[in-house]
Amino acid sequence: MFLASDNPAPPKFTYIRDQDEEKYVAWTGTHVSHFFPLGVPFLYHYASGTGLIEIIKSGELWSTHLNCLNDASELLYIRSRLRIRVERKLASPLSPEVKFLLEEITTKLRATQLGRWPWFVACFTEDGDDLSQWRAYGSGEGGYAIEFDSVYLRGMSHQQQILLGQVEYNERRQDAFLDDLLNHTIKFFLS
């Protein structure tokens, strides 16, 4: 029997350890093709003439840190969409383990700032002749659309982890993707 002065502590779950996070990163790496489908053989990167010369001379294609993007709203947008999906799942009946996981995810999504993520972005398009791309990145009439083999880009092995994914603008497909990601994450966590 509990008295009014009794204050039982809720169970403390200690399921997430550094080695668990490492296993999760490895697990997600094996699912990249499922989560980031690309069905086009070629992608294009628009650059000025100077940019093209620098890419050829260095053999490198530089990317931009998330904090330096001229519009980071796409990353903030998907983070808020994911938080909504997690909160909807939290409103349903759940086991204590799943509830713990989803609460941890929600806390991280609320607290994470872009500056803390060590991510860099390089942008490509499926369209090799797009007026808006020429205007924004090709320096008007002096620009170039550099063609890349998407299969080769995806298969490149670097010391960095590279994800090559398509930006999805359809909200129904976004929700289906996020639900799939959450369901896979829950299954991985429980196993």
Question: Is residue 2 included in any domain, yes or no?
Answer: no
Helix axes 171-190, 18-30, angle to 10 degrees: 130
Residues 130 and 112 in one domain: no
Rg over alpha carbons for the chain, rounded to the nearest Å, is 21
Phi, psi angles (nearest 5°) of residue 120: -125, 155
Question: Is residue 95 included in any domain, yes or no?
Answer: yes
What pTM was estimated for this model as a whole?
0.65
Per the DSSP assignment, residues forming a β-bridge with 12 are none
Q: How many domains does the chain have?
A: 2
Q: How does the average pLDDT of the chain come out, rounded? A: 78
Per the DSSP assignment, residues forming a β-bridge with 125 are 44
Domain range enclosing 56: 40-63+122-156
- Mean of the pLDDT values across residues 110-121? 72
Question: Is residue 141 included in any domain, yes or no?
Answer: yes
Question: Is residue 18 included in any domain, yes or no?
Answer: no
Q: What is the pLDDT of residues 142-186, one digit of tens each?
A: 788 999 888 887 777 565 667 777 777 888 988 888 888 888 888
Question: Is residue 131 included in any domain, yes or no?
Answer: yes
The answer for residues whose C-beta is within 8 angstroms of residue 151's C-beta and 6 or more apart is 41
Residues 129 and 189 in one domain: no
- What's the CA gap between 164 and 43, in Å, rounded? 11
Question: Is residue 50 included in any domain, yes or no?
Answer: yes
- What's the CA gap between 83 and 86, in Å, rounded? 5
Residues 75 and 139 in one domain: no
Residues 178 and 110 in one domain: yes
Question: Is residue 151 included in any domain, yes or no?
Answer: yes
Residues 151 and 184 in one domain: no
Q: What is the pLDDT of residues 17-42, one digit of tens each?
A: 777 778 777 777 666 556 566 677 89
